[in-house]
Structure 1
Amino acid sequence: MHRGPITSVLSTQHDQIVYTGGYNRCIYQWNRATGEGTFIGSHEHIINSISLSENGKYLASASSDYTIQLYDTGTNTRIRTLFGHADDVEAVAFAKQDTLLVSVSRDRRCLVWDIETGAILREFHGHSKDVLAVWIHGDKAYTTGDDGYVLVWLYETGEIVGEIGPFDYELDTISGSNQKEVFALGRDDGTVIIYDAATLQEKKIIKAHLQGVKRVNFSPSGNYLLTAGYDHLIKLWNYETGDLVDTLLPHKYQWERSLVWTEDEKSILGASFGKTYCEWSIEKGKVISDEIEMATPSINDIALTDAGDIITASDDGKFRKNGIEIAKSTGVLTNGVAVARDGSYYAWGDHASQVHIVHESLQQMVSFDLNTGPVNSVYFHEEDRQLHRCDRAVK
């Protein structure tokens, strides 16, 4: 099982097999019926995403160790490691009937690889900042990133044939439907824009979330669109009408970084901060297994009092002073912690947009919702003792 957050999830073989990759650098194969996990391989750093070829023969993993690994799913063996990027590889996608692989990276480059030989066939330098996501449609690659552009280019020649932008924000996610010949972008203001893949004309706008959209994903038929935001909500939409179909009940360990449909469109599989992935039944609208365990109580932030006490923020969401719980946990992981200069108050920011303040002597907690998305940093002003926070989520 995973010993750190799961970053990417895939479903295959008629939804019987699930693949996951995560922070502990490992790839696992899961029997969906039994829940049994099998170790497949590992990187030297965290795995940012995994991708499956259309024929199901190959699995590719993108890592912050600057490499891509290619696996044979029939034997669960690594075929080769691809070296070429000079920074974190964020995403990979198969192309040209699974003969090519397109990768995007924080080195601002997109590389096109020959699957059979592992050779780099093309380098694309169109983006001016980190490239974060890619979608393949026909002979074109649609890539997005920190420069606020969607660039459309021919992956065999590197020629740019279209662009959208620049937007005044980063573009974290793109997803398309080959059946409907459209793609969707998630925006930081909570809206989702759907475009015609051929003309790049805007087709519709959906006001999906209260905060930025973290993930979008079309169902296999293209009839439905999944959106997930920093508001910790996962929503399902009718693509044709733009109407909301359902909002899935959240799970405390869910992570909106990766969410996929099963082939039968009856379930949603998602990344998590647990030892295994989350699975929602669309009919029930909730996670169908309550047995998900926290992968690790890893510490995300610390604060020190003048007396030398250590206050920690951790993945298990427990409020600790010197390793001892001092208030009842909400069960949601905490990202940041701060202590007042005189040590009288402690404050935590968590993944579900809440800030929790505990009085040192009374050990009573007050919580309030910022409605902004994950709160990654909090601190007290030294003079006016006001609480400040930073809620821009880390990728």
Structure 2
Amino acid sequence: MIPNTQLVVSSGYDSGVGLFDLESGSVLLLGYHEHLVNSITVNAKGDKAASCSSDYTIRIWDLKTKQSISSLHGHFDDVEEFIFIGESYGVSASRDCRILLWDLETSRVIRVLEGHEKDVLALSYYDKKLYSSGDDMTLRMWDLDSGRMLKTWGPFENETDSCALDPQRNRVILGCDDGCIRIFDTKTGDLIKTIAAHNSGIKKVTVSSRTGDILSAAYDQKLLVWDANTMEQKLKLEKMPFVWERSLHWTPDGNGIIAGTFDGTIILWNAVDGMLKLEVGQQAQEPGNACFNDVSSTDNGNIVLASDDGLIRLGKLTKDYAAWQAKVEPPSGRMLMNAIALDKIYNLVIGGSHNHRLNIYNNKDDVLTNAIEVFLDEGPINSVKISHHQGYEADIFVGCYSGNVVHLKANGYLKKKISLHEGAVKSLRLHPLKPIGISCSADGILHSWYFNGEPFRRYAGHQAIINDVDLDPSGNLLASVSRDFTLKVFDFWNGDVLHCLPIGKKSLKSVCFWEYNWIIIGDYWGTIIAVNLNTHKVIKTKIASNGISAFSRRGNYLIAASYEGIVFLIDPYSLEIVNQLQAMCQKVDSAYHSQNFSYG
């Protein structure tokens, strides 16, 4: 929020940067990055903003002229956070494991801080001391003048996604993936307090400049305020769906709390009573944004998709026909949905949401009935698969943020929790012949496991988050893609690495093991990549302006879903688009955002 105004600068997964006026309700589009925007910050004077993007850059915006005035190039992976240091300098954190100090007058890097072993996600600064945290489970303190690391807290047992400073009390606050807030003395380094704050990973902690109170936001859907003096819970904010946990901030005067949503709106709460004051940017027609996160299909062309707007979309996509058939809202209401599964044999559609809920439907001619909603309490659901194996017919396997794979019956009855991963399960597959599953995780490890929960094999080798995994049709080989920019192919049975191929310098999101020697990959930039394992020849075709989130087989064709709200029918060998079906247009040119223009 810009100090002494009612203006909020917001960024979003549509790559846009916008200016929201809380008084008039208007929204001004400032411009776009080449990829999604992860965070935005405003300097102390309120005349400049910096946006951090997955296009590996930081853009500096003049808030008076409403123009981009410079672009900072130096990172080689997603930029997650930026802090202004006075008028002339800034510091940025990235998933390339580095922290960069910038001269804003020349747009040059003047110092590189190295020491983190994994993604750096959060920064906080005061009096020439910089604090950083991230996926290597540590909190670090740096002397910014020399670049020297002064202290390391941890490693802890969980990722440390957020940190914040209370300079008046000499405290640094750490938000951890085990749901705990850990408060340390910046002078002595001692642990002052551990607060068991949440039931799921904390994605944001921030400190009020007025009171020193701590705001925490986590994947348990709770937004809480903790008293600076007693360190007890002081307030629980009125619950609002679709809040993006990483986006929360105190207003400059400390009297309010603001956040962005996946619906493309800005929310303002009263910091005294926690009640909602207003929401700006509501869409005149249908709310939300149909950014597709997962797709499932059948050989006859039926498709079902999960999206950011929390609706299940059913459609038909063949070579000669493309149409939407229905949209379904879950019984408990819309909530960002990450996972979907469609099964024509058991007539099931199953969706998994950000709010820990699994929705199970009977599907008859694209009409979803007999809804069963199961609260798993395992964090956001990232992947869902349905078994056809003897003795496990129609059983459901769910990959969760908690690191567990949850095994249920089709009636929602919980059978087992399979606990092998130390990080969020990003994706899973079921073996085509044997009652064995394979899952990949943010911990950089693949695990296979029997359906009864016993581990089968561990597959190591990736150096970063593994986003997706797939088995070849025979079940003898498995492929995985990671944020370390590599494709790895393993022998499923003995775990040997058969291929390790670097695939450029753009993070890989999805994979389909089409046949024994032919693999198709989707990246976060809208490119599909075919890899011939016999020759290691790589073919690339850009089909979308945003990431390829998921693949699904459809007879002789491949279905590819995109974050930009389009699902494509692809020839798996030529990579040509055969047909497509669109739910929204993600980017617009008008000053005021349209129905399909997403902020957040």
Question: Taking structure 2 as the reference length, what is the TM-score of the superposition?
Answer: 0.61
Q: Does 1:311 align with 2:304?
A: yes
Question: Runs in 1 of length 4+ with deviation above 4 angstroms?
Answer: none
Q: Does 1:120 align with 2:128?
A: no
Please report how far the alpha carbon of residue 166 of structure 1 lies from its aligned counterpart in structure 2 after TM superposition: 0.9
Match of 1:7 in 2: none
In structure 2, relative to structure 1, the CA distance for the partners of 1:44 and 1:290 (3 Å cut) is closer
Equivalent residues of 1:306, 1:343 under 8 A apart: no
CA shift digits 1:250-269 (9 cap, x unpaired): 21221112101113333211
Identify the match of residue 279 of structure 1 among 250, 268, 272.
Answer: 268
Match of 2:325 in 1: 324
For residue 105 of structure 2, what is the amino acid of its counterpart?
A: E
In the alignment, structure 1 segments of 5+ residues that lack a partner are 1-10
Please report how far the alpha carbon of residue 343 of structure 1 lies from its aligned counterpart in structure 2 after TM superposition: 3.8
Identify the match of residue 244 of structure 1 among 227, 233, 243.
Answer: 233
Secondary structure of the residue that 2:241 maps to in structure 1? coil
Please report how far the alpha carbon of residue 174 of structure 1 lies from its aligned counterpart in structure 2 after TM superposition: 0.9
Between Structure 1 and Structure 2, whose CA radius of gyration is higher? 2
Secondary structure of the residue that 1:270 maps to in structure 2? strand
Match of 1:60 in 2: 50
CA shift digits 1:67-89 (9 cap, x unpaired): 11112223222221111111111
Please report how far the alpha carbon of residue 347 of structure 1 lies from its aligned counterpart in structure 2 after TM superposition: 0.8
Identify the match of residue 391 of structure 1 among 400, 418, 440.
Answer: 400
Please report how far the alpha carbon of residue 382 of structure 1 lies from its aligned counterpart in structure 2 after TM superposition: 2.9
Identify the match of residue 379 of structure 1 among 370, 375, 385.
Answer: 385
How many Å separate the matches in 2 of 1:128 and 1:167? 13
Match of 1:354 in 2: 357
- What number of residue pairs does the alignment pair up? 384
Match of 2:79 in 1: 89
Match of 1:37 in 2: 27
Please report how far the alpha carbon of residue 307 of structure 1 lies from its aligned counterpart in structure 2 after TM superposition: 4.3
Match of 1:8 in 2: none
Equivalent residues of 1:177, 1:222 under 8 A apart: no
Match of 1:22 in 2: 12
Secondary structure of the residue that 2:152 maps to in structure 1? strand
In structure 2, relative to structure 1, the CA distance for the partners of 1:301 and 1:363 (3 Å cut) is same
For residue 352 of structure 2, what is the amino acid of its counterpart?
A: G
Equivalent residues of 2:310, 2:329 under 8 A apart: no
Question: Taking structure 1 as the reference length, what is the TM-score of the superposition?
Answer: 0.91
Match of 2:153 in 1: 164
How many Å separate the matches in 2 of 1:353 and 1:277? 23
In structure 2, relative to structure 1, the CA distance for the partners of 1:26 and 1:290 (3 Å cut) is closer
How many Å separate the matches in 1 of 2:69 and 2:170? 33
Q: Does 1:253 align with 2:242?
A: yes
Equivalent residues of 1:188, 1:212 under 8 A apart: yes
Equivalent residues of 1:319, 1:327 under 8 A apart: yes
Please report how far the alpha carbon of residue 180 of structure 1 lies from its aligned counterpart in structure 2 after TM superposition: 2.5
For residue 46 of structure 1, what is the amino acid of its counterpart?
A: L
Identify the match of residue 75 of structure 1 among 56, 65, 70.
Answer: 65
How many Å separate the matches in 1 of 2:314 and 2:47? 50
In structure 2, relative to structure 1, the CA distance for the partners of 1:195 and 1:19 (3 Å cut) is same
Secondary structure of the residue that 1:179 maps to in structure 2? helix
How many Å separate the matches in 2 of 1:45 and 1:319? 25
Identify the match of residue 205 of structure 1 among 194, 205, 210.
Answer: 194
* Matches for 1:184-199 after TM superposition, within 5 Å: 184-199=173-188
Q: Does 1:149 align with 2:152?
A: no
In the alignment, structure 2 segments of 5+ residues that lack a partner are 316-323, 402-423, 427-441, 443-600
Match of 1:366 in 2: 372
Question: Over aligned residue pairs, what C-alpha RMSD do you find?
Answer: 2.0
CA shift digits 1:339-365 (9 cap, x unpaired): 346242211001111000001247210
In structure 2, relative to structure 1, the CA distance for the partners of 1:173 and 1:364 (3 Å cut) is same
Please report how far the alpha carbon of residue 39 of structure 1 lies from its aligned counterpart in structure 2 after TM superposition: 1.9
For residue 389 of structure 1, what is the amino acid of its counterpart?
A: V
Match of 1:336 in 2: 339
How many Å separate the matches in 2 of 1:75 and 1:177? 33
Q: Does 1:110 align with 2:103?
A: no
Equivalent residues of 1:341, 1:380 under 8 A apart: no
Please report how far the alpha carbon of residue 139 of structure 1 lies from its aligned counterpart in structure 2 after TM superposition: 0.9
Match of 2:204 in 1: 215
In structure 2, relative to structure 1, the CA distance for the partners of 1:233 and 1:324 (3 Å cut) is farther
For residue 236 of structure 1, what is the amino acid of its counterpart?
A: V
For residue 135 of structure 1, what is the amino acid of its counterpart?
A: S
How many Å separate the matches in 2 of 1:326 and 1:295? 13
Equivalent residues of 2:3, 2:45 under 8 A apart: no
Equivalent residues of 2:174, 2:183 under 8 A apart: yes
For residue 26 of structure 1, what is the amino acid of its counterpart?
A: G
For residue 309 of structure 2, what is the amino acid of its counterpart?
A: D
Equivalent residues of 1:180, 1:222 under 8 A apart: no
Match of 2:521 in 1: none
Secondary structure of the residue that 1:316 maps to in structure 2? coil
CA shift digits 1:278-297 (9 cap, x unpaired): 22233553333367343422
Match of 2:218 in 1: 229
- Percent identity of paired positions between Structure 1 and Structure 2: 33
In structure 2, relative to structure 1, the CA distance for the partners of 1:283 and 1:229 (3 Å cut) is same
More deviation, 201-210/361-370: 361-370
CA shift digits 1:18-63 (9 cap, x unpaired): 1101111111112221111122232111111112222323211111
Identify the match of residue 162 of structure 2 among 149, 173, 189.
Answer: 173
For residue 297 of structure 1, what is the amino acid of its counterpart?
A: A
Match of 2:499 in 1: none
How many Å separate the matches in 1 of 2:261 and 2:10? 10
CA shift digits 1:122-151 (9 cap, x unpaired): 011111221111111211111112211212
